[in-house]
Amino acid sequence: MAIKLSKIINNWVPENSKVIDFGCGDGSLLKELFENKQVLGYGVEINDTKIEKCIEKGVPVIKLDIDKGLNDFMSSDFDLSIMARSIQCLKNPDLALNRMLELSKRCVVTLPNLGYWRCRINLASGKMPITPELPSSWYETENIHLCTIKDFENLCLKENISIKDKVFINRNGNQGSLSKINPNLFAVEGVYLLEK
Amino acid sequence: MKMETKLIHFSEGIELESGEKLNSFDLMVETYGELNEGKSNAILLCHAFSGNHHAAGSSEDFGIGWWDQLVGPSKTIDTNKYFVVCCNNLGGCAGSSGPSSIDPSSQKIFGKSFPQVSVLDWVNSQKMLMDKLNIECWHFVAGGSLGGMQALQWSISYPDNVKKAGIFAAASKSSSQNIAMNEVARESIRKDENFHNGNYYEHNVIPKNGIKTARMLGHITYLSEEHMDSRFGRKFQDEGSKVEESVSFEVENYLQYKGEQFSELFDANSYILMTKVMDSYDAGKDKPLVEALKNVKAEFLIVGFYSDWLYPPERGKEIQIAAMNNNIRSSFVVLQGDHGHDSFLFSSKTYSNLITNFIES
Please state the domain extents for chain B. 3-174+281-360, 178-224+254-276
According to the 3-state scheme, what is the secondary structure of B2-70? CEEEEEEEECCCEECCCCCEECCEEEEEEEECCCCCCCCCEEEEECCCCCCCCCCCEECCCEECCCCCC
Query: d(Cα B169, Cα B148) in Å, to the nearest integer?
Result: 7
Per residue in B177-212, pLDDT tens?
Answer: 999 999 999 999 999 999 999 999 999 999 999 999
For residue A167, being part of any structural domain is answered with yes
Per residue in B153-165, pLDDT tens?
Answer: 999 999 999 999 9
When pLDDT is averaged across residues B170-174 and rounded to a whole number, the result is 97
Instruction: Please say if B308 is a catalytic residue.
Output: yes
For residue A129, being part of any structural domain is answered with no
DSSP characters over B179-241: HHHHHHHHHHHHTSTT-GGGTGGGGT---HHHHHHHHHHHHHHHS-HHHHHHHTTTPBPPGGG
For residue A134, being part of any structural domain is answered with no
Say if the Cβ atoms of B350 and A48 lie within 8 Å. yes
Instruction: Please say if B279 is a catalytic residue.
Output: no
Largest interatomic CA distance in chain A: 50
Q: How far is CA B268 from CA A79, B20, B119, B192, B199, in A?
A: 53, 22, 19, 10, 10
Query: CATH for B3-174+281-360?
Result: 3.40.50.1820
Query: d(Cα B198, Cα B272) in Å, to the nearest integer?
Result: 10
* Residue A45 burial class via C-beta count within 10 angstroms: exposed 0-12, middle 13-18, buried 19 and up: buried
Does the CB of B125 have a partner CB in chain A at under 8 Å? Answer: no
**How confident is the prediction for chain B on average, in pLDDT?**
96
Query: Which three-class secondary structure state does DSSP give residue B274?
Result: helix
Which positions in chain B touch A77 (Cβ < 8 Å)? 325
When pLDDT is averaged across residues A143-161 and rounded to a whole number, the result is 96
For residue A61, being part of any structural domain is answered with yes
Domain boundaries, position A105: 5-113+144-195
Per residue in B79-111, pLDDT tens?
Answer: 999 999 999 999 999 999 999 999 999 999 999
Taking alpha carbons only, the member of B258, B23, B38, B72 closest to residue B163 is B38
- Structure confidence at residue A69 (pLDDT): 75
Nearest-CB residue to A60 (from B331, B334, B360):
B331
Domain with residue A71: its CATH number is 3.40.50.150
For residue A55, being part of any structural domain is answered with yes
Within 10 angstroms of residue A142's Cβ, the number of other Cβ atoms is 9
> Is B178-224+254-276 a CATH 3.20.20.70 domain?
no
Query: d(Cα B141, Cα B170) in Å, to the nearest integer?
Result: 14
> Band of the pLDDT at A2, cuts 50, 70, 90?
low
Sign of CA dihedral B47, B31, B329, A57: negative
Percent of chain B with pLDDT over 90: 95
Best of A18, A50, A55 to disrupt the B interface (most B CBs within 10 Å) is: A55
> Band of the pLDDT at A70, cuts 50, 70, 90?
confident
Residues 6+ apart with CB under 8 A from A158: none
Within 10 angstroms of residue B329's Cβ, the number of other Cβ atoms is 19
